[in-house]
Chains A and B, each alone.
Chain A
Amino acid sequence: MIRLEKRPSPSRFWATATPILAVIATMIAGGIMFALLGKDPLEAIRTIFWDPLFHETFGPYSRPQLLVKAGPLILIAIGLSLGFRAGIWNIGAEGQYIVGAICGAGVGLAFYPTDSVLLFPAMVLAGALGGWAWAMIPGLLKVKFGTNEILVSLMLVYVAESMLASASQGLLRNPEGMGFPGSRNFKEFPAGHNAEIFTNSGMHWGVVAAFIAVIFAYILLTRHMLGFQVRLTGEAPRAAKFAGVKPARLILFSLGVSGALAGMAGMFEVTGPAGQVSIDFNSGYGFTAIIVAFLGRLNPIGILLAGLLMALTYIGGELAQLMLGLPGAAIQMFQGMLLFFLLAMDVLSNYRVRWLRKEVTS
């Protein structure tokens, strides 16, 4: 019999060491998988983790791409982590991301072809508001009627996907697009385009926003009363009650912030790297960000690193497909292993494994 016993106080050392161990374990297990697929495991792992950064042909292109890919993940994950810390589970960031993109792009397209410098800030605001409003639906339902925010926020993702399909075929469709779905391309609309701030740096405003979010979240959690309440609610709900934390306020706050950040991420993405509102514009950032939040230990600095690591596995994975002919599914499995090992290590650092001999009763 195996039994898990909760450790009285998990070691701080292991809390930081487990993500690194999980990465190493993933490399080993992934290497075995690649070897079984008939590829050189060392070459595969080098292609995934090293080539995107230092390969002489790909490096100069993929280094900036790391920021492009990590930006939205970090921005969304930071918002989610606040709620997750307080035990409020916003699973629907993907939906808030979509609605933010529709609202942000919608405001931009409404003023096409203006060249006002005020347009872009207005679009950012609209994106944030859209995501915020979408997150307020599960928030208010939970506060007023006690519904489960996990279910409501998740189901709203599918509603948002339908809205996206409708927007790209109707309301926001490019009038010069010959009836095909998809909006105008923001790359041809400079006032609304989320362009790179420096050419070839990968730095667009969404990446800047992600860095700002990391700093703000860090200050909030370490220096601010609200951050203290968030942490307290998650760690000791009863104590939080005695300390005068109002759960309703906290729920609305954390869902609202995560919704607004996800909405902004969507807006930056649709007007920048993606370029246009299209039916398939969302590619799962809202869900991947959940992994990033946990991989980063719900800690702002951790999330920053986790987002970059996740981006690395994506871009490295693409290179491995391209250069070594690895199947796409193998790359997804490799990413899945990362989460699996992290969660497994988590269990081991929080719990002690006890081997119990079955007692014989006569």
Chain B
Amino acid sequence: MRSVKTLLATAALAVGFAGAAAAEDPTKVGFIFVGPVGDGGWTYEHNQGRLAVEDHFGDAVETVFQESVPEGADAERAITQMALAGADLIFTTSFGYMDPTLAVAAKFPDVKFEHATGYKQSDNVSVYSARFYEGRAVQGTIAGHMTKSNIVGYIASFPIPEVIRGINAAYIHAKKVNPDVQFKIIWAYTWFDPAKEADAAKALIEQGADVILQHTDSTAPQAAAQEAGNVITFGQASDMADYGPMPRVSSIIDNWSPYYIARTQAVIDGTWSSVSTWDGIGAGMVGIGDISDAVPAEVKAEAEALRDALAAGEYHAFTGPLTKQDGSAWLADGEVADDGTLAGMNFYVQGIDGEIPQ
């Protein structure tokens, strides 16, 4: 009985769908990318989301994109041209597109915009981001267990809350399993620059790091670690499985497909409204890549248990007692961080050496 109903519903949906598609032009969905689609990391995953939208909707949706759009004055033009080209929904996939997105959105009230990782909304601009810090907690656990030199290297991109959150989450969980762990952080001031990222990785390895975490998007640090040998890494934004089982032992995977499909569907249905979305492992926006055999079974089991607890909402990656770097109290025992503090995080937790660049 139930299957018949489903079948009927599907058939009705398909008919309705075909009718709509025949009557109107396909819905046009545009994407503005900060890097090349072949970066193997951040932009690659956003492009996978774009391809998933194409797969899911077939002829009902047409997608366009522009890659390597600089975050300065050029962004506004690129977004405007996309709106002029008839896009109904535009995803701008980097923090630096925030003000340009709002400026263009004001000129095109009928076009819907979605800005990734920003904090400014308007009637036709939604914001969305992922709780990558949940993945960092899992990474930190593995890193703390795996390091023999007790030095974990961290290639940071820009000192914005998003990156600082990641450093803190990784450090807290590495420290939990290994009280002697120490973090060395290099600020690369780039999201994607293979040469700079490789230099940073080499510098960290020379300083004794045998685990490299990265918040930059290329696979250059993986290659540098492979060359050095006995250094482990984690895929960033994308699985980077080509570098497994060593040096890449796991990864944080951004999975934008479900969100992009849902938002496109909302535009087609006319139900789109401006929202602020911040999803984590539970909603499937953040994935943990396969933990390779280079990691001992009990460490793997512990990391997976943490992942599942985060996904189920039983455990929060920032749970007290936690103290800020300057010694002031932050979270009491059992207290969890609120989203406002996390969104604007501009401090290290106690134990991390060095200062956040100002």
B43 CB, min distance to chain A CBs, angstroms = 11
Across the interface, A178 reaches (CB within 8 A) one of B71, B119, B158, namely B119
> Which residues of chain B are near A251, meaning CB under 8 Å?
none
Q: Contact partner of B96 among A65, A280, A318, CB < 8 A?
A: A280
Is B77 within 8 A of A179, CB to CB? no
Contact stretch, chosen from A54-62, A83-91, A128-136: A54-62
Measured CB to CB, the nearest residue on chain B to A168 is: B158
CB within 8 A of B70: which of A170, A280, A322?
Answer: A280
Nearest CB of B to A167, in Å: 10
A282 to B96, CA, bound (A): 12
Which A residues lie at the B interface, using CB under 8 A?
Answer: 57-58, 61-62, 65, 68-69, 161-162, 165-166, 169-170, 178-181, 185, 187, 269, 272-276, 278-284, 315, 318-319, 321-323, 325, 327-329
The verdict on B308 contacting chain A, using a C-beta distance below 8 Å, is no
Please tell me if the beta carbons of B96 and A278 are within 8 angstroms of each other in the complex. yes
1/0 per residue, CB under 8 A from A, across B264-305: the answer is 000000000000000000000000000000000000000000
Whether A181 lies near B84 (C-beta < 8 A) is no
Report if B346 contacts A (CB, 8 A).
yes
By a CB distance below 8 angstroms, the chain A residues around B119 are 178, 180
Cα–Cα distance between A169 and B76 once the two chains are bound (Å) = 22
Looking at the assembled complex, report how far the CB atom of B94 sits from the nearest CB atom of chain A, in whole angstroms. 9
Given contact pairs A166-B357, A322-B85, A281 touches B72 in the complex (Cβ within 8 A): yes
Cβ B36 vs Cβ A181 within 8 A: no
Q: A165 to chain B: which residues have CB within 8 Å?
A: 158, 189, 357
CA distance A280 to B98 in the complex (A): 13
Determine if B357 and A321 form an interchain contact, defined as CB atoms under 8 angstroms apart. no
Q: Which residues of B contact A (CB under 8 A)?
A: 36-37, 64-68, 70-74, 76-78, 80-82, 84-85, 95-96, 99-100, 103, 119, 158-161, 189, 343-346, 357-358
* A57–B85 touching, CB < 8 Å: yes
Least CB distance from A239 to B in Å reads: 44
Residues of B within 8 A of A180 (CB): 95, 119, 160-161, 344
**Shortest distance from the beta carbon of A5 to any chain B beta carbon, whole Å:** 40
CA distance A58 to B73 in the complex (A): 18
Contact residue among B68, B77, B82 (Cβ-Cβ distance under 8 Å from A65)? B77
Chain A residues closer than 8 Å to B68, beta-carbon distance: 328
User: Could you show 28 A-B contacts with beta carbons less than 8 Å apart?
Assistant: A61-B80, A62-B77, A161-B189, A162-B189, A166-B357, A169-B159, A169-B357, A169-B358, A179-B344, A179-B345, A179-B346, A180-B160, A185-B99, A273-B72, A274-B73, A275-B100, A278-B72, A283-B74, A284-B70, A315-B77, A318-B81, A321-B65, A322-B64, A322-B78, A323-B64, A325-B64, A328-B66, A329-B36
Residue of B nearest to A65 (CB): B77
Q: How far is the CA of A150 from the CA of B102 in the complex (A)?
A: 40
State in angstroms the CA–CA spacing of A207 and B337 once bound together: 49
Looking at the complex, which one of A61, A161, A274, A325 makes contact with B81 (CB distance below 8 Å)?
A61
Residues of A within 8 A of B65 (CB): 321, 325
B290 to chain A, nearest CB (A): 30
Q: Are B103 and A187 in contact (CB under 8 A)?
A: yes
B160 touches A318 (CB 8 A): no
User: What CA separation (Å) do A318 and B346 show in the bound complex?
Assistant: 36
Top 10 nearest A-B pairs (CB, nearest first) are A273-B73, A170-B358, A283-B70, A274-B73, A179-B346, A328-B68, A280-B71, A328-B67, A179-B344, A178-B344
